[in-house]
Amino acid sequence: MEKRTRTALVTGAASGIGAAVALALGRAGDDVVIAAVDRDAEALRGTVAKLAAAGVRAEGYVCDVTDAARVASVVDEVENRLGPVESLVNAAGVLRTGAVADPDSDFGDEDWDALFSVNAKGVFHVSRAVVRHMTARRRGAIVTVASNAAGTPRHGMAAYAASKAAAAMFTKSLGLEVAPYGIRCNVVAPGSTDTPMLSSMWTERTTVRSTIEGSLDTFKLGIPLGKLGRAEDVAQAVAFLLSEQAGHITLHELTVDGGATLGR
C-alpha cells in the first residue's frame, strides 16, 4: 500500500530551534514533507537547501506570522501543494530584553508590541489557520515552542516571559477545544539553548559560563546538567510530542532546560 504523505509546517524555520525541528521531522521518515516558514527569505533558503541535502522534501514559504491574511494564504497554499498539514510547530519567536519599571531603560511600548505580535499573536494566527483544516479531517498535532521563562520569573525578561506564557496557555486551551476532533496540542519549554537568540543576550558579564553557573544577583539558578541545551535537544522533544508514541498526550508542557527550573 502506498504511504500517505505527512506534511509538517514549521514556523521560524530559518534558524535556531525552528531549523533544527524542520530537519528532525524531515529525517523521521521518507513520507514526511516539510513546509518551512519564516520571514527571513535568505536564511530560509539555507534551511531548505540543508533539508534537500539531507534527502528531505521541503519547500520554503516567506511569511510574517503577524500578518493574519498572509498566514491564511500560506497555509492554504501548503495544503494545496504539499498535502494535508498533519503537524504544526510554532517555533517563530523574537526576544527583546530590558527592565520595564526602570525609567532609564530603553525598553518601550514598541518592544512589548513586537514580542506579543510574534510570540503570542503569531501562534494564534498560524494555529487558527491550520486547525481549521485539521478539524475537518479529525486528526493532527500541534506543538508550540515556548520557554521555561513562561513559568519562572526572569530578570529583565518580563515582557518576553509574558508573551511566552500567553502562547503556552493559548496552546493548551486550544487543545481542550479541539480534543473532540482528535487533535493534540502540546508545549515544549526550552531553557538556555545554544542559538543566536541566546547569544544575543550575552554581554561582557553574561557569557556561556555565567549562563551555566547562574547568577545570585538576578535570582537565576544555574543549569544542573552543566551545559547549554542544543537546538537538536529541543527538536527531539518536539518530534516526540508530534509522534504516535505520544498519541495519548495533550495539553502537556515538556520542559527542556537541563534542570534549570528544578522540574517546576
Tens of pLDDT, residue by residue over 48-100, are 999 999 999 999 999 999 999 999 999 999 999 999 999 999 999 999 999 99
pLDDT value of residue 207 = 74
| CATH 3.40.50.720 holds for 6-255 | yes
% of the chain beyond a pLDDT of 70: 95
pLDDT at 4: 67
pLDDT of 198 strictly over 90: no
Q: Which grid coordinates belong to 58? A: 521541503
pLDDT at 201 over 70: no
**Residues 6+ positions from 162 with CB-CB distance below 8 Å:** 115, 116
Confidence of residue 158 (pLDDT cuts 50, 70, 90): very high
* pLDDT, the chain, mean: 94
Q: Would you place residue 199 in the very low, low, confident or very high pLDDT band (cuts 50, 70, 90)?
A: low
Q: Give the per-residue pLDDT at 202.
A: 57
pLDDT mean over 157-175: 97
Nearest-angstrom CA–CA distance, 76 and 69: 11
Task: Name the band, by pLDDT with cuts 50, 70 and 90, for residue 176.
Answer: very high
User: What pLDDT score does 210 carry?
Assistant: 80
pLDDT for the residue numbered 204: 55
Catalytic sites, residue numbers? 160
Q: Report pLDDT for 1.
A: 41
